Amino acid sequence: MGPIYAYGLMVVGFSLFFVRLNHLTEYVFIALVAIWAIEKLLTRDFQLRRTFLDWPIFLFLVWILVTGFFAVDSDYSLNEWRKALPRFLIFWFVVNAITTECQVRSILFASSLGLGVLSGVEVGYYFWNGGDLLDFSMSAASRAGVFTGSSQWLGTYVVLGSPLAVLGLWSEPAGIRRVAYGVICSLLLAALLLVHTRASWLAFLIELVLFGLLVLLKGRWQVQKVMIIASLVLLFILGLLGSGMVSLVADSQVTNSATLELRLNTWGFAIEQLVENPRMSLTGVGYGKHSFFKAFPDLGPGFHTHIHNSFLGRAMQVGLPGLLIFSLMFGMILVKSLRGWRACSHLYAGQLSLAIFLGTLGLIVRNLFDDMFVGTVVYVFCLFIGLLCAVFNLHDYGNTSRSNA
């Protein structure tokens, strides 16, 4: 059944980035899980591969369920918990269904191709709709991101997916896939430029700098590739300076501090509530992005209707214990992936570890200024982390033990 799971996840990975295909994607995934469950019953093989994220994810889901009964709107919170289940379920399914490195490479290629196609469509539609490369005065609704719902979503996808696209360009042998990855990287860079989202730019810059540092520290044989990438980035920056784009950005709404002031007001209010209300700091106001507005609907124009910070948002939604578990998941992924890179950088497992480390760190930075770890982003992230754990299993690194279900 391995090819069925691999091809099915390729379809899922490709279509996750397209809003209009979300329901179809969910149906395909549910069908894959059903086939997998039937296979387990028929073969009477109930063993499951263990991973370093089993307990954190399980505890987080249980805590969401428990706090849902104390939420301001229990129906909404429990419904959001129900939506969260399949988003995390894809992680365990990938770990237990994917068994070869070839399958991992194919699923990552399909996912990168989906993001590349989406980015190409967004860039094309931006210019077809009258957008100008040097126009940084456009409203959020007019930027690249129409087909993903907003520029914020597109920027988050690019931050998460670009390290994996670079991984494909880096590790795939010469051929059609490497050419495709080169085109995908170009499209992602163009989309990132056009979303005009400062948090995405900052996250991408941090990814780029850390990529260079971590690769250079591993040995001289990597220097040539890093120098090529650094030269291309330098030429890109010099091109921006020569075109006068920097001065255009400085005079545009990209440098407008009004949205940051709104965030600071909202963050200050949220922290104040957590400090002054012990019950809220324990169980929160309810899981879900809109629980904050349900709890405080009359804050006024000087505040946002939601937290605009995934970590502070989790503290408000499910309390400080929920925030601790949520942060622990990201911390464990960063530590495990960085160790994977250091332990086997010469193998595909190590190179994938580096890409996951950079993508996770970029996602964290992006979510310090907004709460984008919801919906399809969680699906995509859990798919990628599941593939990393599957590769770890193949190379006997970290989480190769098995336990009876």
Identify which of 115-119, 292-296, 343-347 has the greatest average pLDDT: 115-119
- Residue reference for tokens 């990393």: 388
Whether 134 has a pLDDT exceeding 60, the answer reads no
Give me 32's structure tokens: 């894959």
- 270-310, pLDDT tens digit by residue? 999 999 999 889 999 999 888 988 888 888 788 888 888 99
- 168-219, pLDDT tens digit by residue? 888 888 788 889 999 999 999 888 888 878 888 889 988 988 887 787 777 6
Q: Write the CB contacts of 180 (distance below 8 Å, at least 6 apart in sequence).
A: 109, 113, 116
Whether residue 104 contacts residue 390, with contact meaning beta carbons closer than 8 Å, is answered with yes
- Cα separation, 119 vs 183, in Å, equals 11
Whether 222 has a pLDDT exceeding 60, the answer reads no
Q: Could you give phi then psi for residue 368, rounded to 5 degrees?
A: -75, -15
Q: For 12, how many CA atoms within 13 A lie in the half-sphere containing its CB? A: 29
**Mean pLDDT, range 119-145, rounded to an integer:** 68
Specify the number of domains making up the chain.
1
pLDDT band at 258 (very low <50, low <70, confident <90, very high): low
Q: Which helix (H) or strand (E) holds 47?
A: strand 47-49
pLDDT band at 260 (very low <50, low <70, confident <90, very high): confident
Q: Which residues on adjacent β-strands are paired with residue 47?
A: 404
Torsional sign, CA 125, 129, 134, 135: negative
- Cα separation, 313 vs 290, in Å, equals 10
Whether 405 has a pLDDT exceeding 70, the answer reads no
Whether residue 142 contacts residue 127, with contact meaning beta carbons closer than 8 Å, is answered with no
What range does the domain containing 285 cover?
Answer: 2-404
Residue 221's pLDDT is 47
- Cα separation, 286 vs 80, in Å, equals 9
pLDDT band at 231 (very low <50, low <70, confident <90, very high): low
Residue 22's pLDDT is 81
